Structure 1
Amino acid sequence: MATIVMESIGRVFISLQQIRQVPRMLREAAPSMPSTVRDIEVPPFFRERFICTGYRPLDQSWRYYFLSLFQRHNETINIWTHLLAFFLFLVKLRDLANTVDFISDPHSWPLLILIMSSLTYSVFSVTAHLLGGRSELCHYSFYFLDYVGVAQYQYGSAVVHFYYVVDESLHSSVCGLFMPTAAALSFLSCLGCCYGKYSSHSLSSGVRKVCQVVPSALAYIWDSSPVAKRLLSGSNNDPAIAYHFGQVGFFLSCAFFFTFPLLERYLPGRCDFVGQSHQVFHVLLSCCTFCQINASYLSGFDGQERTQ
C-alpha cells in the first residue's frame, strides 16, 4: 500500500515538474520577434506623417511579418480593422445566401459582385498593411494591390447602383454611358493612388493627396449619382433610404479622415499604436460598405419594380 502511495506521489510530482516547464517550452517554441523601431530608422517612403514609433524593421523573414499580426506596432489596428470586416462580410454573404439565389438568379449577381468586391478590397488592405513593410518592392507592390482592390470596389458599387438603385429617367439617359464611364474612372482612381504612393517621397503631402483623392472623388460622385437622385426624391416608402443615408454619411466621414490626419497631427507620437486617422477611415469605410450592402439588398429584393 505504501509503495502504491509513493508511486502516485511520484507521478504527481513529475506532472507538476512538467507543468512548470510549460512557460519555458512556450518561450523556446515562439520565434524571436525583433522590437519595433523609430521613424528615423526606416527609409522615408515607409514613414507616415506624425507617426514616430512602432515601425517594423525591414528585411525580416516572411514568417516575422505574418506573425506580426499579433505584435504591437503602428499597423496592428489597420490590419485588424479590415481583417474583422472581411469575416463580417463573409457572415453577411452567408446570411444573404439563405434568401438570395446567387447561383441561378441573374438579378442577384450585382449584389454578389458588390459583396465579392468588398471581400477583395478588405483582404488586399490587410495584405498591404501586414506585408508592405518588408522591403521597398513589397511596399509598393502590396499597396498597389490595395489600390486595385479599391478600384474594383468602386466598379462593383457602380454595378449595384446602376442595376438596383437607378430610376427609370436616369437609366434611360445614361444607359450606354454609365458603366464604361465607371470603369474609366475606377482605372484613373487606381492610377492616381499608385502614382501618389510611388512619388510620395518627392511630392508634397498636399499634391500626393490630390492625386489620390480627386480621381476617387470623381469616381464616387459618378458611381453614387443614382443614390443621390434617390435620396433627393425623398420617398418615405423606400425601405432602403435610411441605409443610403448611412452609406453617404459614412463615406464622407471616411473621406475626411483619409484626407486630413487630424488626430496624429495634433497628438504627434501619441497615436502611434491606436488613434490614427487611417484607422478611423478603415472603420468608417467598413460601416459604409455594410450600409451599402443592406441598401442594395432592399433596393433589389424588396418586391418593388426593378429596373433592368
Structure 2
Amino acid sequence: MGRKVTEDDRVESTENELLCSSQQEGKGKRICKKVKYQLVDYHSLPAYLKDNEYILNYYRCEWPLKQTLLSVFSIHNETLNVWTHLLGFVLFLSLTIYTAMKIPKVMDLTALQNLQDAVRKAGLHNFRTELLTCLPSIPQLPDLRTLREELKALLPSMADLHIIELLTNCYEHFMHNNPTDNSVLHNVKEDVVNIIAPLIVGPITRWPFYAFLGGAMFCLLASSTCHLLTCHSERLSYIMLRLDYAGIAALISTSFYPPVYYSFMCYPFFCNLYLGFITLLGLGTILVSLLPVFQSPEYRVLRASLFFGMGVSGAVPILHKLVIYWDKPEALHTTGYEFLMGALYGLGALIYAMRIPERWKPGKFDIAGNSHQIFHVLVVAGAYTHYQAGLIYLRWRDTQGC
C-alpha cells in the first residue's frame, strides 16, 4: 500500500511540473512553485510572445517582475539581446561624457585662449568686420604671404592652430585665378575671414551632436529594457515594444542631425528643410508604431522596411552635401563614414527581416548567433561609425567655419 502511494505521488509531481497549475493545492502546489520559472519552448508561449518560430526553446513566460529583472544575469534566448544593447548604452554614455569633457578641445584650447587674448589686446573686438576692412579693398594683388607673417607676428598662437598652412592654401588658390578680378578678390577676403574668424568666436554649437548621442542612448536602453521585460505580461509587452520602436525611430532621426546641420549651416533654407523633414518622418514612424497591429509577426517585413526607408532618405542630403563640397576632403571623409553606417544598418535590418541564420537551422541558434543578436551588434557598430563622422564635422566647422 505504501509503495502504491509513492508511485501516485511521483505521478502527481510529474503532472505538476508539466502543467504548472496554480490551482492545485498541497504538495502539488509546492512543486509548482519550485519549477514555476523554468524556461519553455515556442509552442508553450501565449500568442503575444510568439515572434520568431525559428527560435524553438529557452523562452521565459509570464514571470513575476522580480524574477524577470533578475533574469538579466541568467541564460535564456534573450540574454544576448539584452546585453548587446545594454553594453552599447554604456558605451554611448561614456562617449557622451567624453564628448562633454574633451571634444570641445578639437583644437588646442590653450593655444586658442592665447590667440583670443592676443586679439583682445590688439583691439580687434569686432574681428570679422575689422579683418575684412584691413584686407585690400582695391583690385590689386594682395600679398597674402605678407599678411600671414604679420598675423603670425601679431598672434603667435596662430601657428599652433595650423592657420598659416590654411592661409598658404588660400594664397595658392588666389594665385591660380585672376588677381585683378574684383569677384576673385572678394572671395579671397571671405576665405581668409572664414579661416580665422571661427577661432575667435569659439567652437561651433554642439547640440546636433548631443541630439544624436541622446537618440542613440535612448534607442539602446529602450531595446535592452524591452528584451528584458516583455516576458512579464501582455500589458508590459505592449508598452515595451512601442518604446523599442520609438527608440529605433529616434536613433535614425537624430543620426541625421549632425550631417545635416554641419553640412548646411551656411545654407539655412536647406538646413531647416532637411531637419524638419526627418523630424516629421521620425514622429510619423513613432505614431504608426503605436498601432497594435504593427507588432504582429506578419508585419515584421513592414517594420524593417519602414525603418530602412527612413535611413535611405538620408541619401538626399548626403548627395547634396557632395555637390556643394565636392572639393572638401572633410565632406568626402564623412560621406564614407555615413555610407558605412547606412550599410551596417541596412544589413542588420535585412538579416532581422529574413531571420538569418536561424531559418536555415531552427533551434540551433536559440541562445546565440540568431538574427536579432546580429542586428543588435550591427546597430551599435553603425552608431559608433556615425560618432566618428561627427568628430570630423566638429573639427571641420571649428577650424574653418562656413
Give the TM-score taking structure 2 as reference length: 0.60
State the SS of the aligned residue for 2:205.
helix
Partner of 1:272: 366
Instruction: Output the CA distance in 2 between the equivalents of 1:228 and 1:292.
Output: 17
* RMSD over equivalenced CA pairs, Å: 2.8
Partner of 1:216: 307
How many Å apart are 1:93 and its aligned residue?
1.6
1:85 aligns with 2:93: no
How many Å apart are 1:150 and its aligned residue?
1.5
**After the TM superposition, which residues 237-248 of structure 1 pair with which residues of structure 2 at under 5 Å, given as runs?**
237-238=329-330, 239-248=333-342
% identical equivalent positions: 25
Instruction: Output the CA distance in 2 between the equivalents of 1:275 and 1:65.
Output: 22
**After the TM superposition, which residues 292-303 of structure 1 pair with which residues of structure 2 at under 5 Å, given as runs?**
292-302=386-396, 303=398
State the SS of the aligned residue for 2:367.
coil
The answer to which of 156-165 and 66-75 deviates more is 156-165
Inter-CA distance 179–167: structure 2 relative to 1 (3 Å threshold): closer
State the SS of the aligned residue for 1:265.
coil
Instruction: Output the CA distance in 2 between the equivalents of 1:266 and 1:234.
Output: 45
Equivalent pair of 1:193/1:211 in contact (CA under 8 Å): no
Equivalent pair of 1:140/1:197 in contact (CA under 8 Å): no
1:54 to 58, 73, 77: 58
Partner of 1:25: none
1:227 aligns with 2:318: yes
Aligned length: 268
Instruction: Output the CA distance in 2 between the equivalents of 1:256 and 1:210.
Output: 9
2:285 to 180, 183, 189: 189
State the SS of the aligned residue for 2:313.
helix
Equivalent pair of 2:265/2:271 in contact (CA under 8 Å): no
Equivalent pair of 1:82/1:122 in contact (CA under 8 Å): yes
Instruction: Output the CA distance in 1 between the equivalents of 2:384 and 2:295.
Output: 33
What are the ranges of 5 or more consecutive residues in structure 2 without an aligned counterpart?
1-33, 106-201
State the SS of the aligned residue for 1:269.
coil
Which structure has the larger Rg? Answer: 2
What are the ranges of 5 or more consecutive residues in structure 1 without an aligned counterpart?
1-30
Equivalent pair of 1:167/1:230 in contact (CA under 8 Å): no
Partner of 1:37: 40
Instruction: Output the CA distance in 2 between the equivalents of 1:143 and 1:41.
Output: 21
State the SS of the aligned residue for 1:177.
helix
Partner of 2:213: 115
Deviations 1:127-167 (A, max 9, x none): 10000111111111011011111222222122222112348
**What residue identity is the alignment partner of 1:184?**
L
How many Å apart are 1:62 and its aligned residue?
1.1
Partner of 2:242: 144
**What residue identity is the alignment partner of 1:49?**
E
Give the TM-score taking structure 1 as reference length: 0.77
Partner of 1:281: 375
